[in-house]
Amino acid sequence: MHDIVLIPGDGIGPEITKAVTTIFQEAKAPINWIECSAGLSAHEELGNPLPEETLEAIKKYRIALKGPLTTPVGASFRSINVALRKKFKLHSNIRPAKTLPHIESRFDNIDLVMFRENTEGLYIGKEKWIQEDEHAESIAVVTREASEKIVRAAFEYAKNNGRKKVTLVHKANILKYTCGLFMEVGEQIAAEYPEIEYEDLIVDNMAMQMVMYPNKYDVIVTTNLFGDILSDLASGLVGGLGLTGAANIGDDAAIFEAVHGSAPDIAGQNKANPIAFLLSSLMLLEYIGEQEVADTIRQAIYETLADKSVCTPDIGGSGSTTTFTEAVCERLA
C-alpha cells in the first residue's frame, strides 16, 4: 500500500476525485488516500487556502493527487497551485497531449510532451502597484539552475522514451536576458545529447506551428507562462481540456493534477470529464512503480471511449461523470 495525499479541490474537483477513487478501488490499486484540503473551499471553510496540515501531509508522504484549485482574479489570495510548486520545488511540469482512441479532433496521431518550467519566470508573484502614476510592475526571474533542471528533464525523458526531437520555445528576441538565458542553457544541454534533434522556436511562431503542423513536434520545453498557455493549446489539439493530465515533479515531492482548472461553469452538474484527472492519476501510479494497474485502468478507459452514450458532453458524449465512471468500473470488474 502506498500512502498518497489526496486534495479534491474546488469546482469540479470533488466530482472528478470521486471518479478516480471509485475506479482505483475497482481496479484494486494499492493506494491508501490521505485526504487533505486546499484552495477556495479551504479558504471559505477554514479561513486558510493552504492549511498547515495539508503542507505537513505533503512533506510527510511526498506524493499527492490534487484536484483543481480556484484562484480568484484580483486582490484575494494568490494561487495555491503556484505556492505548492514553489514550496516543494516542483521544478518540472510535464504535460503530455496524446491522441486517444475514439476521440474526434482536428488531427490524428498527436503525441506531444510539454516540459514547462514550474517555479519561476513571470509567475513568482513579484508584482506591485504604484498608485501615484497608476502603473503596475511584474518581475520575471529566470535562473540557470531552474532552466537546467527543466531542460535536462526534457532531454532525459526524450532519451529514455525513444523520442527524436526536443523543441525549446522562448521569446529571446524581446526578453533578451530571461529568455536569452533559458535558450543558452538549452543549447548547452542539447550538445550533451547529440542523438536527439534540437531546435528552438519563438513562442508566437510556435503557437501557429502547433495549430497548423502539430505532428512536427515531439518533446517541447519552455518557460512557465508560455508552457501554461501552450499546454492548454496542446490539449485543444487532442480534444480538449477534459483529456490531458499532468505531473509536477520535484527532487523531494511530486504532485499530480489535470491541466484544466476548476471549471466553475459546469461544477456540480455531473458533466465534468474525469479522464484528464484519471490520466494524471495514472502518471502517479507509474511514478510509484505501479505500471501494471496503470495499464489495466488505461485500457479500460480507452475501451470505454468507444461508447459515446456513457461519455461526457465535452467529447461528444451523451453521458455524465458518473456514467463514464461506472462504465470503466464494469470493464474492470
* Interacting residues with ligand NAI (CB under 6 A): 12, 68-71, 81, 241-242, 257, 260-266, 272-273, 276, 314
Contact (CB, 8 A) for 221 and 169: yes
Three-class DSSP category at 19: helix
Query: Which of 122, 190 has the CB closer to ligand NAI?
Result: 122
Query: Which of 116, 260 has the CB closer to ligand NAI?
Result: 260
Q: Is 251 a catalytic residue?
A: no
Q: Does 257 bind Mg ion (CB under 5 A)?
A: no
Nearest residue to Mg ion, by Cβ distance, number only: 228
Q: How far apart are CA 235 and CA 176, in angstroms?
A: 29
Q: Is 3 a catalytic residue?
A: no
The amino acid at 31: I
* Cell (9 digits) for 113: 510532451
The size of the interface with Mg ion (CB under 5 A), counted in residues, is: 1
Residue 202's φ and ψ, nearest 5 degrees, are -75, 140
* Residue 283 beta carbon to ligand NAI: minimum distance, rounded to whole angstroms: 14
* Residue 270 beta carbon to ligand NAI: minimum distance, rounded to whole angstroms: 11
* Residue 235 beta carbon to ligand NAI: minimum distance, rounded to whole angstroms: 9
Q: Is 177 a catalytic residue?
A: no
Q: How far apart are CA 88 and CA 85, in angstroms?
A: 6
Q: Does 228 bind Mg ion (CB under 5 A)?
A: yes
Catalytic residue among 10, 66, 149, 171: 171
Query: Which of 31, 276 has the CB closer to ligand NAI?
Result: 276
| Environment class of 145 (CB within 10 Å of its CB; exposed 0-12, middle 13-18, buried 19+) | exposed
Q: How far apart are CA 211 and CA 260, in angstroms?
A: 19
Which residues, other chains included, contact 74 with Cβ-Cβ below 8 Å and sequence gap of 6+? Answer: none
* Residue 116 beta carbon to ligand NAI: minimum distance, rounded to whole angstroms: 12
Q: Does 15 bind Mg ion (CB under 5 A)?
A: no
Q: Is 159 a catalytic residue?
A: no
Q: How far apart are CA 250 and CA 237, in angstroms?
A: 28
Query: Which of 74, 101 has the CB closer to ligand NAI?
Result: 74
Q: How far apart are CA 250 and CA 284, in angstroms?
A: 13
Which residues make up the interface to Mg ion (CB under 5 A)? Answer: 228
* Active site amino acids: 123, 171, 204, 228
